[in-house]
Structure 1
Amino acid sequence: MTSKIESQVTDLERDIIKEIINIGLARAADSFAAIARDKVFLKVPDIQLIEIKQLIELVTKYENTHSIIQSEIKGDFNGATLMLFSDDHISRLSEVCLGMLDVQKGELSVMQESLLLEISNIITGALVTQLANILKTNIYGSPPKAPKNSIADSLKDILVQHPLFQPLVFTVITRFTHDSRSVELPLLLFFDSKTLLKILEIIRTFELGKNNLTDTN
């Protein structure tokens, strides 16, 4: 069933939103490449407006198999990013970025958790900064954290407080290549429905054909 908000978004507006996110991710990829020491590719395959129950189920599924780093997006927009790291991701990142060999799977060391927090901080920070420039808004990312309690439960608390919240979810695959080996890191970026309406209002003021989305001056 199509939601009321989703029905308000035209195909062209979806494409514009995806392009804006892609521009932000290009900057994030450049920033991440500095610590990954090789090529980094980020892309947004799709935009989904999903029901609260689906979001909780999605996060719960990943929470059972991944270490999750959470950052909030604040200011004129309200949203969050969740970076998802499997044991294999963590082992590969530890080898490439920390020079660790024969990484043991299981509980994170202090250095490994710091690395994951730094990666999330770099990617979310670069993405949010670029979005703020493109959309001419005052937004910023909070310091990332590695929640010790259930993220799904904390999301439920937020959703109970804001019953009209319907998240706009971008599922992003972050792929970086080092020594011809690739690692893919899932990233969930989501905004609440109020933020989506703000974004739509902004892009509807664009004079298509005259404004260049890459012009952030």
Structure 2
Amino acid sequence: MDYETYNTTNMMDTHVTELEKDIIKEILNIGLARAADSFATIAKDKVMLKVPDVQLIEVKDLISLIGKYENSHFIIQSDIKGDFNGATLMLFSDEHITLLSNVCLSMLNVQKGELNVMQESLLLEISNIITGALVTQLANILKSNIYGSPPKAPKSHIANSLKDILVQHPLFQPLVFTVITKFQHNSKDIELPLLLFFDTSTLIKMLEIIRTFKV
């Protein structure tokens, strides 16, 4: 099969109907509900997570989207492996870090722009909890063997850290879910952006499984 034929077939296979988008979002919402409960135990307050958007975007647009956060947010990456290939990115601003450090670590007078070992460990643990709960539910519902790798804080440009997905899949068109984690503390809502995305082959696998469901 030549490149043009494969690309045409690939685009046909990855056509997602509105109903299929709704099913994918509902599956993710189930996983996020479990993640919210786990996060709440360390946040010591109510946590809500929801999936407001699902979109297919080009690689260059994904890199541009992530780039908007790189200079203003501390980014934690967790890769998704096994039957599916993807990643999650949790984005923490200075305000997020200050609040979480105060609530979870009882830290006062947090210096913005600086992270100590305990703070970085906290952000890694939050990402691990949310990604782990989400991946576990995806695996159960879609009956797939998937797992999350230990979270990490990329030290270089985020595109370099994501090269396994972005570079090694030339026909890659990521399926991106923008998830807003709403963290409530003292009646104040703080939103933690989370990006979840999968490569094209994973999207095709997910659609094949979803299309066997009786709806």
Q: How many angstroms does 1:167 deviate by?
A: 0.5
2:156 equivalent among 149, 158, 167: 149
2:195 — aligned with what?
A: 188
2:4 match: none
Question: 1:52 maps to what in 2?
Answer: 59
2:31 alignment partner, one of 20, 24, 29: 24
**Larger CA deviation: 151-160 vs 75-84:** 151-160
Segments of 4+ moved more than 6 angstroms: none
Equivalent in the alignment of 2:120: 113
Please, which of 84, 99, 102 is the counterpart of residue 92 of structure 1?
99
> Is 1:5–1:193's contact at 8 Å kept on the other side of the alignment?
no
Gaps of 5+ in 2: 1-9
> Is the contact between residue 77 and residue 90 of structure 2 (CA under 8 Å) also seen in structure 1?
yes
Q: Is the 8 A contact 2:85 2:165 kept in 1?
A: no
SS at match of 1:161: coil
Quick check: 1:71 aligned with 2:78? yes
Paired residue type of 2:150: P
Change (3 A) 1:50 1:181: same
TM-score, normalization by structure 1: 0.91
Higher deviation after alignment, 153-162 or 56-65:
153-162
Query: Per-residue CA shift, 1:123-148, capped at 9, x if unaligned?
Result: 00000001111111110000000111
Distance in 1 separating the partners of 2:95 and 2:209: 40
Residue by residue over 1:134-185, the C-alpha shift from the partner in whole angstroms, topping out at 9 and shown as x without a partner, is: 1111100000001111112333564222111110000000011122122210
Whole-Å separation in 2 of the counterparts to 1:40 and 1:91? 17
Percent identity for Structure 1 against Structure 2 = 79
Q: TM-score, normalised by structure 2?
A: 0.92
Match of residue 208, structure 2, among 195, 201, 211: 201
Aligned partners of 2:88 and 2:197 also within 8 Å: yes
Count how many residue pairs are aligned between Structure 1 and Structure 2.
206
2:14, 2:200 within 8 Å by CA — same for their partners in 1? no
Specify the alignment match of 1:213 in structure 2.
Answer: none
Secondary structure of the corresponding residue to residue 144 of structure 1: coil
User: C-alpha distance in 1, partners of 2:202/2:123?
Assistant: 27
Secondary structure, in 3 states, of the residue corresponding to 2:21?
helix
What is the correspondence of 1:128-147 to structure 2 with a 5 Å cutoff? 128-147=135-154
SS of corresponding position for 2:170: coil
Instruction: Output the aligned Cα RMSD.
Output: 1.5
| 2:52 partner SS | coil
